[in-house]
Structures are given as structure tokens and as C-alpha cells.
């Protein structure tokens, strides 16, 4: 089983306004409410690709109930820890011609006893499971929560995928995560350099392996992607052709596609191509990509 962890899940309220005028009453041309959070996105795309997963994390109030209900509708199993007060956050995604604006909520307080509940659930994982931890953490969680989790699981041979930035990512590399997925800007920030093309990325992806990551998958938007794989090979590709309509969830989709491809036959090249197709298919969609769109795009790579 694949387990995804979303520390601060949300209901995302997506709205389109064709002629946005600040300070005035604006009429929406489109609106949609759907569950959000990086781990949840991974679970939804995994479901589209025929891979079961369980979404873990924290949920509170009526918004937490709605996140659970909508995930049930998509077929995704969730096992959220209920919080004693507050509401899971609401994020507003405003799209206007030529721009996207995100207004993200803070989320509820997470007390220590609920953190311990999450640790207890993760303690039940075995070497036959996969763990995905991704995204930012709310202020009520300790800054080293990622590190605490991987340290707790160290020695149990549980493959972990980590999609995070800065010290959240670098502090877990000593635990040899199976997969890390920075974009090229995030990778450059870690090493204090500017990475503009795939040739620039390759040596720094290898450095991430030397530090401890087994597979380093670097997304590069229109420039495609690079994978420094655990088999010693470097896989790289241009991005598929298409019209970008959405940036939310593309990286999460890439993680899901890579894991789904890898679990099929343990082939890194195929995993890389399915990951790139999944990320691109979501970028070309209004929301998270469908399995059919991902598979169709993968056939072009």
C-alpha cells in the first residue's frame, strides 16, 4: 500500500473571473470546490492510474468532513486524524486571463497528542508499503517533522518519497529516501546556483544522490525533466507539447506517475516517462489529470 501524508489538507475553491477589477464586485465565470494538499493530490492521481493508496494527515471541522467525503467519491481511501477544534483550511485559487493568484488559509492547530497518533499509524508500515510525505507544514508542527518521521522509520526498509523544499528536504537525505522531487529552482536554491537547462541540472541531481537520495527527479516545467536514477543512469526528456492551463498539482502528479510506473515493473525509464506524462497532463488540464490523459501523453514519449 502507498500511504501519503498531508499535514495541512484543504478545500480548494477555484474561481475564474474573466475581467477582474480590484475593489469592485466581480462575477465568476467558473467555480469548483475540491480537496487539496500535495499528498492528497498524489493519492488522487495514483487512483486515476489504478494504484490504491491511503491518504493520511489531519482534518478538522466541517471542511475536514467535506475533504473526506469528496475523497470517498473519487475512490481514495483516507484515514485522517480528527482534530479537537478548528477547521481544515480553505484555499482560494483565482484565475484571471494571464495570471493565477493563490490565497491559502492557515489551517487548524495540531496538538502533540494528535502528532503521536500519526506516528503510531506510521509505525505499522512495513517494507511492502510506500510512504509519500510532501508539502509545507503548518506552524503548529515542529520544523523537523519530516526528519522525525524518517528517523522513526529508519532501518525498516520502507521506501519514502519526499517532495519538499529547503531544509525540510536536505535534513532527510541522510535517511536515504527512495525519491526526492525538487524542481530546478528549488534544487538551485539548495546549492546556491541558478539552473537554467537540463545540462545544468544533471551534476546537482547527482550531488543530491551523493548526499543520500536514491532517485532524484527534477521537474523543469517547459524544459521537461531529469531523473538521476538509483541504477546509475541519467534519464532526461523535453516536456510533451501542449497548452499550459494549470500549474496546481503538476509536481504532485509527477510523483504519482513515477511511483505508479515504478511499481508496475521496477523500470526507472518507464517510471520517469509516466511521471513526466502525469505532470504534463495536469499542466494541460483545468484540474488534476485523468488516467486516460496521462496514458495517452505517455505514449508520445
DSSP E strand boundaries for the chain: 2-6, 10-16, 30-36, 53-59, 77-78, 81-82, 89-96, 99-103, 130-134, 160-163, 179-180, 215-219, 225-228, 234-237
Exactly one of 252, 286, 292, 293 is catalytic; which is it? 252
Which residue in the block uniquely carries the three cell numbers 527512495? 178
Residues 6+ apart with CB under 8 A from 265: none
Q: How many CB atoms lie within 10 A of CB 170?
A: 19
Q: How many CB atoms lie within 10 A of CB 211?
A: 14
CA 295/CA 257 separation, integer angstroms? 10
Measured between alpha carbons, how far is residue 32 from residues 37, 247, 287 in Å? Answer: 16, 16, 10
Establish whether 252 is a catalytic residue. yes
- Spatial contact of 235 and 227, defined as CB atoms under 8 Å apart: yes
What sign results for the dihedral spanned by CA atoms 1, 124, 61, 250? negative
- Spatial contact of 56 and 265, defined as CB atoms under 8 Å apart: no
Give the residue numbers marked as catalytic.
Answer: 252
Amino acid at each position: 500500500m502507498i500511504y501519503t501524508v498531508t499535514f495541512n489538507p484543504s478545500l480548494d475553491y477555484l474561481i475564474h473571473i474573466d475581467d477582474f477589477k480590484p475593489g469592485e464586485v466581480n462575477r465568476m465565470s467558473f467555480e469548483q470546490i475540491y480537496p487539496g494538499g500535495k499528498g492528497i493530490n498524489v493519492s488522487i492521481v495514483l487512483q486515476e492510474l489504478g494504484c490504491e493508496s491511503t491518504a493520511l494527515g489531519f482534518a478538522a471541522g466541517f471542511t475536514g468532513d467535506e475533504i473526506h467525503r469528496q475523497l470517498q467519491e473519487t475512490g481514495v481511501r483516507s484515514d485522517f486524524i480528527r482534530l479537537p477544534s478548528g477547521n481544515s483550511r480553505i484555499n482560494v485559487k483565482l484565475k484571471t486571463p494571464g495570471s493565477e493568484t493563490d490565497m491559502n488559509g492557515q489551517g487548524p492547530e495540531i496538538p502533540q497528542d494528535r502528532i503521536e497518533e500519526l506516528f503510531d499509524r506510521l509505525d505499522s508500515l512495513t517494507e511492502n508499503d510506500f510512504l509519500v510525505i510532501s508539502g509545507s507544514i503548518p506552524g503548529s508542527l515542529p520544523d523537523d517533522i519530516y526528519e522525525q518521521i524518517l528517523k522513526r522509520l529508519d532501518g525498516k526498509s520502507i521506501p519514502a518519497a519526499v517532495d519538499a523544499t529547503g531544509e525540510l528536504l536536505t535534513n532527510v537525505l541522510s535517511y536515504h529516501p527512495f525519491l526526492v522531487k525538487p524542481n530546478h529552482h528549488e534544487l538551485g536554491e539548495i546549492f546556491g546556483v541558478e539552473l537554467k537547462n537540463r545540462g545544468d541540472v544533471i551534476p546537482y541531481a547527482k550531488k543530491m544522490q551523493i548526499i543520500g537520495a536514491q532517485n532524484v527527479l527534477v521537474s523543469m516545467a517547459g524544459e521537461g525533466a531529469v531523473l538521476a536514477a538509483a541504477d546509475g543512469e541519467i534519464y532526461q526528456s523535453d516536456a510533451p507539447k501542449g497548452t499550459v492551463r494549470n500549474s496546481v498539482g503538476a509536481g504532485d502528479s509527477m510523483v504519482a506517475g513515477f511511483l505508479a510506473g515504478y511499481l508496475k515493473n521496477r523500470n526507472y525509464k518507464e517510471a520517469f516517462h509516466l511521471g513526466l506524462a502525469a505532470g504534463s497532463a495536469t499542466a494541460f488540464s483545468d484540474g488534476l489529470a485523468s488516467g486516460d490523459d496521462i496514458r495517452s501523453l505517455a505514449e508520445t514519449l
